[in-house]
């Protein structure tokens, strides 16, 4: 019985952004019914190897925990779909703009039928504008939306060039914004009885999360470039070589820099006008980074990590996933949970929300295709 218990979500979305939102809603207690194409289902069921269970890619299980699945054809099963809409509080869809109109499943049609319905539309470029009809995929959006222009090594150095983030970050962030918008719309409906459409575009999200980089541009008119692992506004904040690998330093203020300087055997750096303030260090970025890198080569990453922790300087190693999931911190925080599908117990990544009164429930694994038809028709439509 999570905080969204009693909320019914009809999920017509596929791949990642929409399913990420509906998974989070399911984690919080909503009853989520995932509508899939008969015979094949969500594309991500086939985005493998690897597979988590036979015939189902691990990718699918990353975004569909806690839901029930029913396979319906938008044309042939339109009456059943409309009946499910009549029972839903929220509809989530990520079809091309206007793609659901011919089935009478677009927002104007459903608003006329149920004014209280909350309808979340996720597209690449939004419901209007000259690019509205374009398809949008995360890699494309990371490029168009500015992220790749600030991610990667600068031109002219080894490995230089734009690089995407290692996961489909814009899709995931769009799913989070969708969840926030849906909860805001539910609160509005509690007060007024009115539903609404939530129009979310991947490109809009990509622009919104440019954060300080976009504000740097708006303040100066100068487009920021790629700095590798460096930070445009803070120095030292980068990855440095050590005797046996690499080390992250994330020095956020002058006090931390003074502690680092002492640790490196250079306490005078904290009084040097070229290094004493963050603004000075940003101006002397390349010189200071070279000096730090030279000194860090004297010890191993593990040695430096322990010394940094003792000195109160933020820093540490870069972990591969096998090392990450071996950490005691992950065991204590519960990063991996087990969920059930019939007699099978399957691993899933934990929801990071730790709610003291209404904890996340991990009662149901990602569904088998059409595996919940009978229960959905019974619970929502009273059939059977």
pLDDT in tens, 20-57: 999 999 999 999 999 999 999 999 999 999 999 999 99
Single residue among 299, 321, 343 that ends a domain in this structure: 321
Tell whether 178 is covered by a domain. Answer: yes
Asked whether residue 202 falls in the same domain as residue 250, the answer is: no
Q: Check pLDDT > 80 for residue 186.
A: yes
Tell whether 221 is covered by a domain. Answer: no
pLDDT at 384: 76
Average pLDDT over residues 341-358: 95
Is 234 in contact with 280 (CB distance < 8 Å)?
Answer: no
Asked whether residue 151 falls in the same domain as residue 20, the answer is: yes
Asked whether residue 75 falls in the same domain as residue 194, the answer is: yes
pLDDT at 281: 98
Q: Check pLDDT > 90 for residue 363.
A: no
pLDDT at 10: 98
Tell whether 224 is covered by a domain. Answer: no
Asked whether residue 277 falls in the same domain as residue 338, the answer is: no
Q: What is the pLDDT of residues 81-138, one digit of tens each?
A: 999 999 999 999 999 999 999 999 999 999 999 999 999 999 999 999 999 999 999 9
**Phi/psi of residue 163, nearest 5 degrees:** -140, 140
Q: Check pLDDT > 80 for residue 292.
A: yes
pLDDT at 304: 97
Question: For residue 380, what pLDDT band results from cuts at 50, 70 and 90?
Answer: very high
Is 15 in contact with 44 (CB distance < 8 Å)?
Answer: yes
Domain of 30, CATH number, reads 3.40.50.10540
Q: Which two tokens stand for residue 136?
A: 């949008």
Residues written for the chain: 384
pLDDT at 382: 97
Domain of 268, CATH number, reads 3.30.1540.10
Asked whether residue 146 falls in the same domain as residue 46, the answer is: yes
pTM score: 0.95
Asked whether residue 81 falls in the same domain as residue 197, the answer is: yes
Is 203 in contact with 177 (CB distance < 8 Å)?
Answer: no
Asked whether residue 130 falls in the same domain as residue 255, the answer is: no
Query: Residues of the chain with pLDDT > 70: what percent?
Result: 100
Q: Check pLDDT > 90 for residue 258.
A: yes
Tell whether 229 is covered by a domain. Answer: no
Asked whether residue 295 falls in the same domain as residue 367, the answer is: no
Q: Check pLDDT > 90 for residue 1.
A: no
Q: What is the pLDDT of residues 298-316, one digit of tens each?
A: 999 999 999 999 999 999 9
Asked whether residue 260 falls in the same domain as residue 290, the answer is: yes
Tell whether 364 is covered by a domain. Answer: yes
Cite the active site residues: 171
Single residue among 321, 354, 373 that ends a domain in this structure: 321
Q: What is the mean pLDDT of the chain?
A: 97
Tell whether 215 is covered by a domain. Answer: no
* CA separation for the pair 31, 5 (Å, rounded): 7
Asked whether residue 30 falls in the same domain as residue 165, the answer is: yes
pLDDT at 164: 97
CA nearest neighbour of 236 among 220, 226, 251, 258: 251
Tell whether 247 is covered by a domain. Answer: yes
pLDDT at 58: 98
Q: Check pLDDT > 80 for residue 149.
A: yes
Number of domains in the chain: 2
Single residue among 290, 321, 352 that ends a domain in this structure: 321
CA nearest neighbour of 315 among 255, 237, 262, 258: 237
* CA separation for the pair 328, 44 (Å, rounded): 32
Q: What is the pLDDT of residues 204-239, one digit of tens each?
A: 999 999 999 999 999 999 999 999 999 999 999 999
Asked whether residue 288 falls in the same domain as residue 338, the answer is: no
Alpha-carbon Rg for the chain, nearest whole angstrom, is 25
Tell whether 230 is covered by a domain. Answer: no
Asked whether residue 186 falls in the same domain as residue 335, the answer is: yes
Range of the domain at 267: 237-321
């Amino acid at each position: 019985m999570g905080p969204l218990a009693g909320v019914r979500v009809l999920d017509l979305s596929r791949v990642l952004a929409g399913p990420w939102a509906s998974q989070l809603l399911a984690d919080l207690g909503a009853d989520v019914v995932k509508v899939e194409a008969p015979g094949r289902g969500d594309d991500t069921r086939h985005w493998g190897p690897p597979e988590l269970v036979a015939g189902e890619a691990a990718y699918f299980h990353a975004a569909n925990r806690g839901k029930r699945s029913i396979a319906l054809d938008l044309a042939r099963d339109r009456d059943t779909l409309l009946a499910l809409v009549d029972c839903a509080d929220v509809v989530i869809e990520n079809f091309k703009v206007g793609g659901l109109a011919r089935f009478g499943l677009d927002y104007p049609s459903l608003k006329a039928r149920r004014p209280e319905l909350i309808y979340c539309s996720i597209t690449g470029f939004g419901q209007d504008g000259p690019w509205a009809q374009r398809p949008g995929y995360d890699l494309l959006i990371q490029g168009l939306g500015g992220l790749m222009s600030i991610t990667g090594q600068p031109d002219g150095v080894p490995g230089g060039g734009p690089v995407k983030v290692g996961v489909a970050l814009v899709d995931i962030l769009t799913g989070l914004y969708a969840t926030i918008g849906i909860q805001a719309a539910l609160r509005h409906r509690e007060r007024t009885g009115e539903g609404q459409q939530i129009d979310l575009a991947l490109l809009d999200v990509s622009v919104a999360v440019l954060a300080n980089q976009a504000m740097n541009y708006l303040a100066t008119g100068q487009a920021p470039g790629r700095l590798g692992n460096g930070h445009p506004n803070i120095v030292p904040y980068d990855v440095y070589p050590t005797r046996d690998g690499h080390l992250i330093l994330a020095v956020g203020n002058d006090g931390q820099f003074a502690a680092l300087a002492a640790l490196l055997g250079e306490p005078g750096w904290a009084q040097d006008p070229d290094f004493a303030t963050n603004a000075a260090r940003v101006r002397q970025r390349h010189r200071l980074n070279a000096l730090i890198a030279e000194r860090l080569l004297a010890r191993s990453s593990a040695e430096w990590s322990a010394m940094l922790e003792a000195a109160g300087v933020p820093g540490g190693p870069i972990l591969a996933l096998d090392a990450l999931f071996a950490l005691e911190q992950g065991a204590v925080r519960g990063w991996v949970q087990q969920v059930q599908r019939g007699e099978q117990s399957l691993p899933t990544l934990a929801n990071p929300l730790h709610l003291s009164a209404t904890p996340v429930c991990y009662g149901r694994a990602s569904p088998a295709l059409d595996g919940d038809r009978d229960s959905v028709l019974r619970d929502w439509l009273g059939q059977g």
